[in-house]
Chains A and B, each alone.
Chain A
Amino acid sequence: MSFPWAEQYEPKSPFMKWLDSRLPLPRLVFNAVGPGYPVPRNLNFFYNFGVLAGFALLVQIITGIVLAMHYSAHIDTAFASIEHIMRDVNQGWLIRYLHMNGASFFFIVVYVHIFRGLYYGSYKAPREIVWMLGVVILLLMMATAFMGYVLPWGQMSFWGAQVITSLFSAIPLVGEPIRQWLVGGFAPDNATITRFFSLHYVLPFVILGVVILKVWALHIPGSTNPTGIDVKGPQDTLPFHPYFTAKDFFTLTLYLIAFVAVSFFIPNALGHPDNYIPANPLSTPEHIVPEWYLLPFYAILRAFTVDLLFVPAKLWGVIAMFASILLLLFLPWLDTSRVRSANYRPVYRIFFWLLVVDVLVLGYVGAMPAEEPYVRIGQLATMYYFAHFLIILPIVSAVEKPLPLPNSIAEAVLGKSAAQVAAAPSGGVVAQPAE
């Protein structure tokens, strides 16, 4: 699963030789993230966010395991056990703030990673499955983060759980039984917190499993690159180690600086103050808002305000909210352009940036109370969101005239004269030799 010019693993010490012939773990690492994995040489810093996302996942798992040692999943003690962690457990405040803000940072890097994929056409053949596994990870992340937010059993935990689970009751006929089955009762209660804790603990490991599948699938064609053209020869690539390990490590330090600055100096800026009030089923908060990373989807949910075509407004909202994520699974077939990178797609590029602005607007509207002008802005923004993926993208990719592509990555990086372009048929697809 690599290019034919990839460096082969040669165990040097007798011990490695012994180990490699029995358990080829060193070989696996060498081929996955070592010198045995050739990577397009022209990747920019946006390509580092995948590794950062993997790091963020590990931070969540490690801090989460420690928190679970001190947390108590019971409605009578959950809130106090969090304060016990914050005050009485050695460095408990550190672990908890890292976990809390780690979730936000995980979403930040994943969102950048997704938009990078949208810009450079990373979802196109032959990487459809890499992309679809990514969508699965996003869904799992959202479920995990939502359940994690319920665990402190503060006001937003309780009311967030109430709002999100009640979405299921919008489904005709079976909705209400499904909701009660998910919650384990008529309203969020002890049965809810215990099952959410159980799932919140296990889902990150499921995510880890999907990440492994995704990296595996990625290693067959390798990464895309800013030109979007295929790798054609050794002059187009560099071994992952040391080139990209060094680059990733540098970006990791920048990521850590931002992460530490927020976690240590404004640890509650991304959260909601109401979650420091213990859950009270008898007192509804003035505004119920989800965590910031779910706000765009919350805005889509709330944009549907009228019953139409025999479908109640709430059900429209629920369908649209799920559709807004699930449609990403079909992206490889909605966009038919053969050119991957938006650098060479002048029309698509405009709509891409409109989408970025649109999602930011949706996030803003999601945080605002459901009143004018926010509702109408949200409706326009939701319209654009769906129109972008379902209508504009298929049309643009059919009618757009892309800019001329460079002949090879090496040529794009080094200029025509310096590149020793391999004699590959220009424009033709180079077959990816399997190992």
Chain B
Amino acid sequence: MVRLVGMALGLVFCFVLAWAFLVPREATQPDPVKLLHREPKEVSWPHTGPFGKFDRAQLQRGFQVYKEVCSSCHGLYHVHYRDLEKIGFTPAQVKAIAAEYEVPAIDPNTGETITRPALPTDKFYRPFPNEQAARAANNNAYPPDLSLIIKARKNGESYVYSLLTGYGEEPPPGFEVPDGLNYNPYFHSVNIAMAQPLVDGQVEYADGTPATVDQMAKDVVAFLRWAAEPELEVRRRVGLASLLFLSILAVLSYLTYRRVWADVKP
């Protein structure tokens, strides 16, 4: 009975699938955007690879780029000012950086809403109070939070680097870039609302590194990687130690296993 019902059901499924298989398909037009879209460039950083470590100087340069360029449009929602101590800023420097921003607060005496200088324990200042304000200021586009952007995109670091350095190409003839958008073949729709954010010499690095677009893009991407994965170095260190420990344990447990079974197998 089970077998008969099963066979009937199987035949019905196979019939329906065979029918669906044979139904002719409508020819699909290749998407013109897909043809223009490009895969990210290959880049590497000091922290690339399983044993890589962040270059503190690069992270600080990247922070400078974020602060002086990107932060006018993009927030870093999940990062606190105090976290900057982990990339080599002193507590006094962090305090000074935080104090440059005014954040909303409540006056403890009158209960009125006021602003006060940000503290190291505050999260990063957000350039816009809400999404509507951000869109209003950006041609109805929404500049996303950057604190997770590296994890939130496929090939995160290479992608953001390619995006930042992917401006300036002429679109192919006949391809109209809509008003207010910019041609960038690395963006999924190849038309991005963000205008080219980086130009040569836009920031002045204290350590004298030439501020080329390429250099600034690399630096800010390294900083964003740290912002997305502040635990990266600890994670790799603990991971390595755990693997070492487990490998030794595996050898010992293998020997134990062989010893226990020594009298069994012929």
Contacts and interface: CB of A to CB of B under 8 A. Distances in A.
B256 interface: yes
Nearest to B240: A264
Contacts of A375: 25
B156 interface: yes
A327 B6 CA distance: 8
Interface stretch (B16-24, B64-72, B169-177): B16-24
Contacts of B250: 250, 253-254, 257
A199 B23 CA distance: 42
A372 interface: yes
Contact of B257 (A86, A247, A260, A308): A247
B250 to A, nearest CB: 4
Interface in A292-350: 303-306, 308-309, 313, 316, 320, 323, 327, 330, 333-334, 336
Interface stretch (B55-63, B89-97, B215-223, B229-237): B229-237
Contacts of B238: 94, 264
Nearest to A373: B25
B105 interface: no
Band of interface residues on B: 35 or more
Contact of B256 (A94, A249, A327): A249
A379 interface: yes
A375 B151 CA distance: 30
B188 interface: yes
9 nearest A-B pairs in the assembled complex, by CB-CB distance: A264-B239, A390-B10, A276-B152, A253-B250, A246-B260, A83-B78, A250-B253, A390-B6, A333-B2
A163 interface: no
Contacts of A41: 264
B21 A277 contact: no
Band of interface residues on A: 35 or more
A424 interface: no
Nearest to A271: B151
Interface of A: 41, 80, 83, 86-87, 93-94, 97, 238, 242-243, 246-247, 249-250, 252-254, 256-257, 260-261, 263-265, 267-268, 273-274, 276-277, 286, 303-306, 308-309, 313, 316, 320, 323, 327, 330, 333-334, 336, 371-372, 375-376, 379-380, 382-383, 386-387, 389-391, 394, 413-415, 418
Interface stretch (B178-186, B195-203, B241-249): B241-249
A249 B253 contact: yes
A198 to B, nearest CB: 26
Interface centre among A87, A94, A376 (most CB of B within 10 A): A87
Contacts, number: 155
A372 B25 contact: yes
Interface of B: 2-3, 6-7, 9-11, 13-14, 16-21, 23, 25, 28, 50, 77-79, 83, 144, 147-148, 151-154, 156, 188, 228, 230-231, 235-236, 238-240, 242-243, 246-247, 249-250, 253-254, 256-257, 260-261, 264, 266
A263 B243 CA distance: 11
Contact of B242 (A260, A305, A306): A260
A242 to B, nearest CB: 5
Given A276-B151, A334-B3, A387 B14 contact: yes
A101 to B, nearest CB: 12
A41 B238 CA distance: 38
Contacts of A333: 2-3
B257 A250 contact: yes
